[in-house]
Amino acid sequence: MDIRTITIRAALGLASLGMLVAQPPAPPAGPPPTPKAQAPWDLTGYWVSIVTEDWRFRMVPLAKGDFPGLPLNAEGKKIADAWDLAKDEAAGEPCKAYGAAAIMRVPGRLHITWDNENTLKIETDAGTQTRVLHFGGTPTGNPSLQGYSVASWEPLQSGPAFGPHKPGSLKVVTTRLRPGYLRRNGVPYSGNTVLTEYFNHRVLPSGETWFTVVTVIEDPENLTGPLVLSSDFKKEPDGSKRMPMPCSVK
């Protein structure tokens, strides 16, 4: 190696060192992105339920004692068999079948919006209910019809997804529920119910946007094991077809 090459390399090395020394310190890291900014897909907008599963149980008024396919234990059957429509009417309890454990199965339309950077809101036509999904936090407050829902985005990753969820799902866990009905004919769920939901998004070849919510209902008081259901929703261009309706016991 001649003296000229050595001199040039030495100069370049000193220049690089000078650049490293002169480089200003990196700015402090900013706050992490909000749940709204992290969303892997857009859940907001207007949606209509597509009833392809359990049509009879969702669309037709059910008689007392009509509860096939549900994993009711002895206590759950006892309560369902004792259901009294007139008693619910007299007690002013028309919304017991519109609680969080049942409302996504009630046919109708949804309007979903971000209430703020950390909170999603689901407004239903059926029963004019409002669900609030909190990203982070601890369930607080008194038990209520819609309970307290804690939401999180399931991480995106490669490879197969096992169980009821997929990578990129919106996971929602709801507790602090008031007792209510899984169906409008008095099939019960208790205040100890834990509701876990996975919202999964897809776009069909036709260009239509859908989501499916897989619902897992666990109630140690009335069910022999988890009840797993799925419900489909199709996106609509606007809210022109919305028809908010009050709760009904019939």
* DSSP output for 113-125: EEEETTEEEEEES
Pairing of strands 109-116, 130-135: unpaired
| CB neighbourhood size of 72 (10 A) | 21
Measured distance CA(83)–CA(216) in Å, rounded:
24
DSSP state of 149: E
Residue 18 is predicted with a pLDDT of 42
Higher pLDDT, 2 or 106: 106
Measured distance CA(238)–CA(90) in Å, rounded:
38
Give the residue from 189, 201, 22 showing the smallest Cα distance to 96: 189
Residue 112 is predicted with a pLDDT of 98
Percentage above 70 pLDDT, the chain? 84
Stretch among 16-30, 57-71, 113-127, 167-181 having the lowest mean pLDDT: 16-30
Higher pLDDT, 160 or 29: 29
pLDDT score of 199 more than 50? yes
Domain layout of the chain by residue ranges: 35-236
pLDDT band at 185 (very low <50, low <70, confident <90, very high): very high
Q: Mind listing the pLDDT tens digit for each residue in 200-237? A: 999 999 999 999 999 999 999 999 999 999 999 999 99
Mean pLDDT, residues 67-74 taken together: 94
Give the residue from 14, 142, 235 showing the smallest Cα distance to 6: 14
Measured distance CA(105)–CA(122) in Å, rounded:
14
Q: Mind listing the pLDDT tens digit for each residue in 83-142? A: 998 898 888 889 999 999 999 999 999 999 999 999 999 999 999 999 999 998 899 999
Task: Annotate 151-214 with DSSP letters as a single string.
Answer: EEEPPP-SS---TT--TTPEEEEEESBPPEEEETTTEEE-TT-EEEEEEEEEE-TTS-EEEEEE
DSSP state of 28: P
Residue 56 is predicted with a pLDDT of 87
Pairing of strands 170-175, 130-135: unpaired
Mean pLDDT, residues 19-36 taken together: 70
Residue 30 is predicted with a pLDDT of 74
pLDDT score of 10 more than 50? no
Measured distance CA(162)–CA(235) in Å, rounded:
26
Is the backbone of residue 74 left (phi > 0), alpha (psi -120 to 50) or beta?
alpha
pLDDT band at 156 (very low <50, low <70, confident <90, very high): low
Mean pLDDT, the chain, whole residue set: 87
Rg (CA), the chain: 26
pLDDT score of 64 more than 70? yes
Question: Which residues partner with 122 through β-bridges?
Answer: 112, 131
- At 12, which amino acid appears? L
DSSP state of 103: G
pLDDT score of 29 more than 50? yes
pLDDT band at 166 (very low <50, low <70, confident <90, very high): low
Higher pLDDT, 245 or 1: 245
Backbone torsions φ then ψ of 206, nearest 5 degrees: -70, -10
